[in-house]
Amino acid sequence: MGKKILLSGVKPTGRVHIGNYFGAMKQFVDFQDDYESRIMIADYHALTTVQDASVLKQDILDLVASYLAIGLDPNRVIIFQQSAVAEHLELAWIFNCLTTMPYLARAHAYKDALAKNKEVNVGVFTYPLLMAADILIYDPDVVPVGQDQKQHVEIARDVAEKFNRLFGEAFKLPEPFIPEDVKTVTGLDGQKMSKSYGNTIPLFANEKDLKRLVMTIVTDSKGETEPKNPEECHVFALHKLFSQVDLPELKRRYVEGKIGYRESKEILAHNMNQYLKPMREKYESLLSRPEEIKTVLAAGSERAQVIARAKLERVRELVGVKL
């Protein structure tokens, strides 16, 4: 039997942060040997919020460089651009036609946008159906994403079930994959780390910026000699990701009141820099060679097109537009 299939993607909407990395992107690398992986640049999803061509172009190149810098190997993984595979949009239209408005109105992202009184474009509303198409075209067994994307994968399952029931078997039902130990990475202010909250630590920030950002992590006002509960500390939450070796010792010092927040942050900034430096160097070097990035992306997109075209042939036949 062949390897299982993995599909995932991230939107090119600005520099990736450590939440994106631990919540989603690191899994892409960890699984590249075990799964046949297809990793997408979700540029048409980004278009629901980005309306500046030069920004989008740069963010696309940036995201490919990020994927390569964290260790995705384009020889083993198909790294591709969503907009280069028009079949995604075609399938999304077909899904539009078998999904009801009230069903989509229950999606968290749409409800949040409404609650925040944002101007909601139609793209935001049908976002989950384009994502369902992204996923279902490639027949993945698993879709590694952060917690906030779980509902979208469930919607893709529902859509697949409905299509299969109405028209005949075309799609495999995908599973979200969310690692137990890294559900949600907290940001500088203790909320979920997110570009939209302005509380991120960029994955490729330089050493000086890393230190500056880490020093601003919000803590309570306990003094150096007071016992502290590591599980309630946002600095310690990040130690769990970057300070594996020092973790038992740090925990002991927290509980016994033998470490202050300043020192804890200094240790964190140091460990973070050690961990991220090799990836940062690779990222910077890649960004100085945009032509190479474009070549990788074009080659991956061609491979994705072949798979998508075959799936759409079958779908067109099943819905009755192929004569």
* Cα–Cα distance measured from residue 257 to residue 244, given in angstroms and rounded to the nearest whole number: 20
* Cα–Cα distance measured from residue 128 to residue 156, given in angstroms and rounded to the nearest whole number: 7
107 binds ligand TRP (CB under 6 A): no
Q: Can you tell me which of 32, 149, 273, 301 binds ligand TRP, judged by CB under 6 A?
A: 149
Q: Can you tell me which of 11, 17, 228, 265 binds ligand TRP, judged by CB under 6 A?
A: 11
CA-based nearest residue to 32, from 6, 62, 1: 6
User: Which entry of ligand TRP, ligand ADP, none binds 192, CB below 5 to 8 A by partner kind?
Assistant: ligand ADP
Q: Which is nearer to ligand ADP, 79 or 312 (CB)?
A: 79
What's the chain's Rg over C-alpha atoms? Answer: 21
Would you put residue 248 in left (φ > 0), alpha (ψ -120 to 50) or beta? alpha
Which residues are registered as beta bridge partners of 10? Answer: 41
Q: Which residue type does 240 have?
A: K
Q: How far is the CB of 271 from ligand ADP (least distance, A)?
A: 19
148 binds ligand ADP (CB under 6 A): yes
Which residues are registered as beta bridge partners of 17? Answer: 202
Q: Is the CA virtual torsion 87, 88, 90, 95 positive or negative?
A: positive
User: Which entry of ligand ADP, ligand TRP, none binds 42, CB below 5 to 8 A by partner kind?
Assistant: ligand TRP
143 binds ligand TRP (CB under 6 A): yes
Q: Can you tell me which of 58, 96, 164, 184 binds ligand ADP, judged by CB under 6 A?
A: 184
* Cα–Cα distance measured from residue 138 to residue 284, given in angstroms and rounded to the nearest whole number: 32
176 binds ligand ADP (CB under 6 A): no
Q: Which is nearer to ligand ADP, 96 or 194 (CB)?
A: 194
146 binds ligand ADP (CB under 6 A): yes
Q: Which is nearer to ligand ADP, 184 or 305 (CB)?
A: 184
Q: Can you tell me which of 4, 118, 165, 196 binds ligand ADP, judged by CB under 6 A?
A: 196
Which of these ranges, 1-9, 178-186, 222-230, 281-289, lies near ligand TRP under the rule CB under 6 A? 1-9
Q: Can you tell me which of 38, 88, 157, 192 binds ligand ADP, judged by CB under 6 A?
A: 192
Adjacency order of strands within the sheet including 4-10: 78-81, 35-41, 4-10, 142-144, 175-177
User: Which entry of ligand ADP, ligand TRP, none binds 195, CB below 5 to 8 A by partner kind?
Assistant: ligand ADP
* Cα–Cα distance measured from residue 202 to residue 270, given in angstroms and rounded to the nearest whole number: 15
User: Which entry of ligand TRP, ligand ADP, none binds 184, CB below 5 to 8 A by partner kind?
Assistant: ligand ADP
154 binds ligand ADP (CB under 6 A): no
19 binds ligand ADP (CB under 6 A): yes
Q: Can you tell me which of 42, 92, 286, 315 binds ligand TRP, judged by CB under 6 A?
A: 42
Q: How far is the CB of 42 from ligand ADP (least distance, A)?
A: 8
* Cα–Cα distance measured from residue 166 to residue 99, given in angstroms and rounded to the nearest whole number: 12
**Which residues have a Cβ under 8 Å from the Cβ of 321 and sit 6 or more positions away?**
none
9 binds ligand TRP (CB under 6 A): yes
Q: Say how many C-beta atoms besides its own lie within 10 A of residue 96's C-beta.
A: 15
User: Which entry of ligand TRP, ligand ADP, none binds 308, CB below 5 to 8 A by partner kind?
Assistant: none
* Cα–Cα distance measured from residue 41 to residue 60, given in angstroms and rounded to the nearest whole number: 7
* Cα–Cα distance measured from residue 207 to residue 211, given in angstroms and rounded to the nearest whole number: 6
Dihedral (Cα; 192, 195, 200, 202), 10-degree rounding: 140
Contact criterion met (CB below 8 Å) for 91 and 44: no
Residues that bind ligand TRP (CB under 6 A): 7-11, 42, 45, 131, 134-135, 143, 145, 149, 152
Residues that bind ligand ADP (CB under 6 A): 10-11, 13, 19-20, 23-24, 145-146, 148-149, 184-185, 192-196
